[in-house]
Chains A and B, each alone.
Chain A
Amino acid sequence: GENVEQHPSTLSVQEGDSAVIKCTYSDSASNYFPWYKQELGKRPQLIIDIRSNVGEKKDQRIAVTLNKTAKHFSLHITETQPEDSAVYFCAASYGDNYGQNFVFGPGTRLSVLP
């Protein structure tokens, strides 16, 4: 089955700096890679996703890159703000007629220091 690793487990940055979180996956059948942000006591919220036919995607201060050959993808947050502080989960997914199998990475706790 799929295995997703995520690094680092914790990350502290100064406000305004960039943050990078990296994930690797094991199953070459995975073709969808979302990133979720989860604040304490809240639901996971999708912040950006990338599909296997795309190498990079950007949405304002957030970008994701995918290297299918190396089986890794990364989240980049620029100009970080205190409200970016949360736990970030990457996931790798493949789907078929039976269902979509999401496997999450262990998470990265991001702290943005004012």
Chain B
Amino acid sequence: DTEVTQTPKHLVMGMTNKKSLKCEQHMGHRAMYWYKQKAKKPPELMFVYSYEKLSINESVPSRFSPECPNSSLLNLHLHALQPEDSALYLCASSQGTASQETQYFGPGTRLLVL
């Protein structure tokens, strides 16, 4: 299996809702990433998990809470989001965190906050 999967594909939520995005890979990769991509913009790194531990948090607001239950799964818990948080949320994984590792992206979850 050489694919990163993400669920759901689309999500609409209100500002008071709590929801979670899920990401899964079965390539044995030990690094997983969350990116946010606004329309017509490049992906922006949010979080990096290395060997199931949060290693990089790019100053993301606390209404986004990542979780890595095991080496194959990565969640992003959402609470009290704002309309400006509407975006495509991409998960990626790589073999490790050393230099020159290729990252493979999932299909993304398109989030709309009303």
Contact = CB atoms under 8 A, between A and B. Distances in A.
Interface of A: 31-32, 34, 36, 42-46, 49, 51-52, 89, 93-107
Interface in B6-55: 31, 33, 40-45, 48-50, 55
Given A100-B97, A104-B44, 5 more contacts: A31-B100, A44-B43, A44-B90, A45-B105, A52-B100
A95 B100 contact: yes
Given A95-B99, A99-B48, A43 B106 contact: yes
Interface of B: 31, 33, 40-45, 48-50, 55-56, 90, 94, 97-108
A99 B97 CA distance: 5
25 contacts: A31-B99, A32-B99, A32-B100, A43-B105, A43-B106, A43-B107, A44-B43, A44-B105, A46-B103, A89-B42, A94-B99, A97-B55, A98-B48, A98-B50, A98-B55, A98-B56, A99-B33, A99-B49, A99-B50, A100-B94, A101-B45, A101-B56, A103-B45, A104-B44, A106-B41
Interface residues of chain A: helix, strand, loop or mixed (majority) = strand
Contacts of A93: 99-101
